[in-house]
Structure 1
Amino acid sequence: MSEDTITQLRDPSGFGADPLTDVLRDGARKLIEQAIQAELAELMASFSGEKLDDGRARLVRHGHLPER
C-alpha cells in the first residue's frame, strides 16, 4: 500500500470558511436573538399582572430582576 491517496473531505455543514459566510451567519444569529428577545418580552408582559399569594411576581426573568 505504498500508493495511498488522501482525499480531503468537504465541510459537513456545506459552508466554506469565507468571510461572507461568517458575516451572513453572524447576521442570522443576531436576527434570531432579536426575535427570541421580542417573544420573551411579549411573554413577560402578558404575565406582568400575575402575582403569588405573598405579592411577589409569578414570573421573573432569571438574572434580570432582584431576587425574590
Structure 2
Amino acid sequence: MTKMEFWQLMDVFRKDSNGDNEIFLQSAQEYLSSCNIEDVCYFGGYLGAYMEAVNECVWVRYGL
C-alpha cells in the first residue's frame, strides 16, 4: 500500500460514513480484514504517522 492508496481509502471511508465515526470504523475494519498483513501494516503505519502529525499541530498551535 502506498501513501496515495492510503489517502484514497480514507476518502472512501469518509464518504461512505457521512460523518458517522462508527460507520467509518466499520468500513475500515471490513476493508482491512480482507487485506494481506503487509497492507495492514502499511495502513497502520500511515495512520500512526497521520495521528502523530495531528498531535504535533495541536501541541504547537495551542502551546500545550
- Higher RCO (CA-CA < 8 Å; seq separation 6+): 2
TM-score (norm 2): 0.45
Larger Rg: 1
